[in-house]
Structure 1
């Protein structure tokens, strides 16, 4: 084997290391998906600060293309690991990471794929299509309605070529109430009798309920408007 071939092989091998590591991490998560809790995540976090934060971001990346464990578990675990302000910052960056992967998948998809998504997820399409000119607002609204599947929302917005800065800013703003409350739940999880834990838990449930109300009112308003236009 010539030196040139050895060099090319070495470069290729080095490029594959991160991919193989990520695949191994994904397999590890998927084989333990029924056991993933806050304590489980905390028990596997490295002591090194940068490695721990990197692991958290990997979890967010995996979550963006997986339904095997709830996002709230990651946010609470981060809240339990770090001071509130730092934890909110880490969770905010993690949320942005989870937004980006399906967004880029959507941007690369063809029109037929978008049409199939619209047929399979009419609730998302019902909000998105009439408001594409209000890009920041629609990103905010879709993230405020928590029961809509995050990965599908991201792919839709990517497929419709929403500018990334509006996509991230609107989406993060819409998710911020949930990020703050679940992070603070994590910071007080060691004492579940504390007022902060219960207040944040109630607020998390309340925000979810409000998101249903927002969707109901918005859908009813759009239906009434379409009915008036037909008349």
Structure 2
């Protein structure tokens, strides 16, 4: 169901899985779930092809940059499109499918892009059962590290995007 729901947050699923299952089992289940979650809209995009691309590009003009990144490096494009959220994730999957991006680099890059967030949120869910000062401090540190990583990545991508825009003109 999540695969075709643009508005339902993955974070809620990650935390719930972490709260229900042991941490390492939760990680495994979340990776399996992400694989399904990324595959269904990818296949929708692959089957729909160019028609869905036109609709997505009209509604989300930033999707064009994602398309340009995707032609150069499939693994990096799928990674960066998950790590730096510019277009909703399900639409990202449809775009990559419509572009006929090879499935393996797409899936691997997508999972790698979501992995830091998923690990932190699964850990938070696992710690909800027995909160201690130590677990709260670890959660704060993990959230801060993930936030810092995201901000650095966003800056880097923004700078390279501006350079690309200048070169395009």
Give the TM-score range, shorter chain.
0.7 to 0.9
State how far apart, in whole Å, the 2-side matches of 1:208 and 1:145 are.
Answer: 11
Deviation for aligned residue 1:74: 1.2
Task: Return closer, same or farther for 1:83/1:134 CA change in 2, 3 Å cut-off.
Answer: same
> Where does structure 1 differ by over 4 angstroms across 4 or more consecutive aligned residues?
none
Contact residue 189 and residue 197 of structure 1 kept, 8 A? no
Aligned-CA RMSD value: 2.3
Match of 2:130 among 191, 195, 213: 191
Q: Which residue of 1 aligns with 2:2?
A: 63
Taking the aligned partners of 1:176 and 1:112, their CA distance within structure 2 comes to: 31
Which of these residues, 48, 59, 77, is aligned with residue 120 of structure 1? 59
Q: How many matched pairs?
A: 169
d(CA) in 2 for partners of 1:145 and 1:94?
A: 20
Once residues 189 and 149 of structure 1 are traced to their aligned partners in structure 2, the CA distance between those partners, rounded to angstroms, is 28
Structure 2 Cα separation of the partners of residues 88 and 132 of structure 1: 31
Greater Cα radius of gyration, structure 1 or 2:
1
Which of 24, 47, 62 lines up with 1:85 in the alignment?
24
Query: Unpaired segments of 5 or more residues in structure 2?
Result: none
SS at match of 1:69: coil
The aligned counterpart of 2:121 is 182
Residue equivalent to 2:142: 203
| 1:181–1:201 contact (8 Å) kept in structure 2 | no
Residue 156 of structure 1: which of 82, 90, 95 is its match?
95
Determine which of 38, 42, 49 is the counterpart of 1:103.
42
Distance 1:148 1:193 in 2: 37
* Residue pair 1:185, 1:201 contacting (<8 A) in 2 also: no
Q: Which has the higher contact order (CA 8 A, sep 6+)?
A: 2
Q: Normalized against structure 1, the TM-score is what? A: 0.65
What TM-score, normalized by structure 2, do the two folds share? Answer: 0.86
Q: CA deviation at 1:102?
A: 0.6
Q: CA deviation at 1:82?
A: 1.5
Go from structure 1 to structure 2 and tell me whether the alpha carbon gap of 1:79 and 1:197 turns closer, same or farther (over 3 Å shift). Answer: farther
- Mean Cα displacement is larger for which, 199-208 or 127-136? 199-208
Classify 1:195/1:123 alpha carbon distance in 2 versus 1 (closer, same or farther; 3 Å).
farther
